[in-house]
Amino acid sequence: MEKIERNAPCWCGSGKKYKICHAAFDDKLKKFAREPYPVPTRDLIKTPEQIEGIRASSKINIAVLDYVAEHIHMGMTTAEIDEMVYQKTTELGGIPAPLGYEGFPCSCCISVNSVVCHGIPDEDTYLEDGDIVNVDVSTIYNGYFSDSSRMFLIGNVSEDARRLVDVVEQSLQVGLAEVKPWKRLGDMGAAIHEFIKKNGYTVVREIGGHGIGLEFHEEPWVSYVSKKGTEMLLVPGMVFTIEPMVNMGRQEIFIDDEDGWTVYTEDGSLSAQWEITVLVTETGYEILTY
């Protein structure tokens, strides 16, 4: 942590002197830094100005998903949804973050049924009666990043598949209940894992959530199979995603050899995911995207 002279302006941009602003906060962090698990570096603690920027980006991300929710229907292709995401995002002044990200060819990820995540929209994939579909949207606005995904049910979805989708959505609330400043991130993941196991499903281990804001993917990596009392300390100003991927069958996954992106369940079972972006506040959390 870079040392600041006590009468110098605080690093958070408040304009106040450091000694009456974040000096006590930094001292508290230093104490936690003696524990075996990491504390956030300063770039992971967003300033009020940065939080406003992420909030504005998040508003677009929510509006784009709301737009998808209004227009998604049986018989359309995933490429058509991608086109909607591109049009709506740019109309609102944003840039779709996935487009060109590490070579990703589209504006969002669309993952149908046994696709766990990172499905590439295409003209040959039609939404069919009974499908469960994840649409994962990420936005860059004024340099700030936001990210969220929702599940959509197409036509008559089986009772089993509906329950999977509902349980994963509920798991976000279970995780959120553990998001409090000065607690460990691992508590959140542990709570989600317990809840999913209790409901008879499995959690994907290899892919998780992430810090976000100034970059698409920042520290910390966010697991949903973590242990209580482990992982990064949560402090006010941190922003990260909660996005568990849950399989109806076994937890194992594989990545498509040909496209290098699409992640499938190994056993072909259904998979569901919901993603939100949260800000850690002085008292708990605030949901920035859903």
Q: Residue numbers of the site for Co ion (CB under 5 A)?
A: 147, 241
CB closer to ligand MF3, 136 vs 231: 136
Contact characters 201-240, ligand MF3, x per CB under 6 A:
----------------------------------------
Select from 15-23, 95-103, 177-185, 222-230 the region that touches ligand MF3 (CB under 6 A): 95-103
* Least distance between Co ion and beta carbon 241 (Å): 4
* Least distance between ligand MF3 and beta carbon 41 (Å): 20
Place of tokens 């400043």: 181
Residues in 236-275 that interact with ligand MF3 by CB under 6 A: 241, 243, 275
Dist CA 194 CA 217 (whole Å): 26
Q: Does 98 bind ligand MF3 (CB under 6 A)?
A: yes
Of 46, 118, 184, 193, the residue at the interface with ligand MF3 (CB under 6 A) is 118
Select from 31-39, 55-63, 100-108, 182-190 the region that touches ligand MF3 (CB under 6 A): 100-108
- CA dihedral (222, 263, 126, 155) positive or negative: negative
Radius of gyration for the alpha carbons in the chain, expressed in angstroms and rounded? 20
* Least distance between Co ion and beta carbon 137 (Å): 10
CB 235 within 8 A of CB 229: no
The b-or-e profile of 11-40 (16+ CB within 10 A means b, else e) is: bbeeeeebeebbeeebebbeebeeeeebbb
- CA dihedral (186, 192, 197, 201) positive or negative: negative
CB closer to ligand MF3, 9 vs 256: 256
Which of the choices Co ion, ligand MF3, none does residue 104 contact, using the CB cut-off of 5 to 8 A by kind?
Answer: ligand MF3
CB closer to ligand MF3, 211 vs 237: 211
Of 11, 37, 101, 221, the residue at the interface with ligand MF3 (CB under 6 A) is 101
Dist CA 26 CA 108 (whole Å): 38
CB closer to Co ion, 57 vs 241: 241
Dist CA 171 CA 241 (whole Å): 13
* 232 Cβ contact partners less than 8 Å away, ≥ 6 residues apart: 37, 38, 39, 40, 184, 185, 219, 220
Residues in 141-160 that interact with ligand MF3 by CB under 6 A: 147
Place of tokens 């809840």: 195
Q: Does 107 bind ligand MF3 (CB under 6 A)?
A: no
What is the three-class DSSP state of 58? Answer: helix
Which residues contact ligand MF3 by CB under 6 A? 98, 101-102, 104, 109, 118, 136, 138, 147, 241, 243, 275
